[in-house]
Amino acid sequence: MKILMTEEEITQRVAALGESITEAYRGKDLTVVVIMNGALLFGADLVRRIQLPIRIDLFAASSYENDRSSGKLKVRSELKNSPAGRHLLLVDDILDTGFSMKCIREHLAGSGALSIRTCVLLNKHVGGKQFLAPDWVGFDIPDRYVVGYGLDSEEEYRNLPYIGILE
């Protein structure tokens, strides 16, 4: 395992993202939607760095099966609360093609949310063609398969406190 981002680097970057998000949503009703399971750790750390009276909700979906894109979104669990009249910030671990995030965004678009923006910890495929441009990005990374800090390979490695390249 080659370490790509240490625990300290992640902590610092998440704090900066939290500050930026705090400024962007001051005075607005924000619901942070943590996309499960990949954004479990990132989402938990990020919300603690947003200094606003936010709500937190979970949305479980993925477009990946066995580390390969299955080409369609599978929704496993919907939001608990209606987003009507609120601003949504969708938080995910990693954007590769952007297909998953685009599908989730479209899925939630008819829900009455005032706005829907996106925040990902990692952005792969930088410069390449993506289905969606994220509003906040933690780190641009090379096109390698990474694990840790919520990211898995067949459900393992999610609990690593750092992000590494699987070799």
98 binds ligand IMP (CB under 6 A): yes
Verify whether residue 45 is a known catalytic residue. no
Q: Shortest CA distance to 61 belongs to which of 101, 27, 22, 23?
A: 101
Q: Among 6, 11, 12, 69, which residue interacts with ligand IMP (rule: CB under 6 A)?
A: 69
Count, residues near ligand IMP per rule CB under 6 A? 19
94 binds ligand IMP (CB under 6 A): yes
Nearest-approach distance from CB 30 to ligand IMP, in angstroms: 22
Q: Among 78, 145, 156, 159, which residue interacts with ligand IMP (rule: CB under 6 A)?
A: 145
Measured distance between the N- and C-terminal CA atoms of the chain, rounded to whole angstroms: 6
**Residue among 96, 140, 143, 152 flagged as catalytic:** 96
Instruction: Write the CB contacts of 53 (distance below 8 Å, at least 6 apart in sequence).
Output: none
38 binds Mg ion (CB under 5 A): yes
3 state SS of 152 = coil
131 burial (CB, 10 Å; 0-12 / 13-18 / 19+) is middle
Q: Among 4, 17, 83, 92, which residue interacts with ligand IMP (rule: CB under 6 A)?
A: 92
The interface partner of residue 14, options being ligand IMP, Mg ion, none and the CB cut-off 5 to 8 Å by kind, is none
Q: Shortest CA distance to 31 belongs to which of 78, 93, 87, 101?
A: 87
151 binds ligand IMP (CB under 6 A): yes
The interface partner of residue 123, options being Mg ion, ligand IMP, none and the CB cut-off 5 to 8 Å by kind, is none
Backbone φ, ψ for residue 122 (5° rounding) = -125, 140
Residues 95-114, mask of contacts with Mg ion (x by CB under 5 A): --------------------
Containing H/E element for 150? none
Query: Dihedral of CA 130/132/133/134: which sign?
Result: negative
Task: Report, as residue numbers or ranges, the catalytic residues.
Answer: 96
Q: Given the rule CB under 6 A, which residues bind ligand IMP?
A: 38, 62-64, 69, 92-100, 124, 145-147, 151
